[in-house]
Amino acid sequence: MKYFLTSARLGFRCWTEADRSLAFALWTDPEVMGHMGGAMSSEAAEGRFALEMERQRKFGYQYWPMFLLDGGEHAGCAGLRPFHDSSQVLEIGVYVARPYWSLRLGEEAARAVIGYVWQTTELEALVAGHGPNNTHSQALLKRLGFRYTHHELWGPHQTMHPYYRLERPL
């Protein structure tokens, strides 16, 4: 089985060493990264790639690469990262590759990851944040049912990002 998780249009698997160029293309794209600290340098992308690989090994999650089921193109990544030192809460995030914007693939990816979390873990909640002016991301989090909780410093330039929380459904 190539994908451990699928949605209507997307398949998710783990990054492998062979995917380095896909990850770099995504994270060094100034448009994709516009609200998330800007395009990464190749050194920063290398560091991020190593970190994602390590998280999968250590914790069993990462920002998983996602691919179109129809055609197999790399469409971005979506998944999980630690949130502070909590064992009950993880942070969810989504990056959609530029050619696939405006198709609501970010929403589809986030819904797939959220469903996977409720089914396969006992986490009590998920959190998510977005860049201060990322109104698209804000709208997405609202559609998903996240509620604003607080602002906190985020990322390479230490900007204040709003944070939101989604409780495990009863």
Interface ranges with ligand COA (CB under 6 A): 32, 34-36, 92-96, 101-107, 110, 128, 130, 134, 136-137, 140-141
CA distances in angstroms from 53 to 3, 12, 49, 69, 103, listed in the order given: 17, 15, 6, 23, 28
Residue closer to ligand COA by CB (options 53, 78) is 78
Residue 1 CB, nearest distance to ligand COA (Å)? 25
Q: Yes or no: say if 95 and 78 are a contact pair by the CB < 8 Å rule.
A: yes
Quote the least distance from Cβ 124 to ligand COA, whole Å.
18
Tell me the residue number closest to ligand COA, measured at CB: 106
For residues 61 and 95, which CB has a smaller minimum distance to ligand COA in the complex? 95
- Angstrom distances, CA of residue 98 to CA of 9, 95, 105: 16, 9, 11
CB-nearer residue toward ligand COA: 2 or 125 = 125
- The 3-state DSSP class for residue 41 equals coil
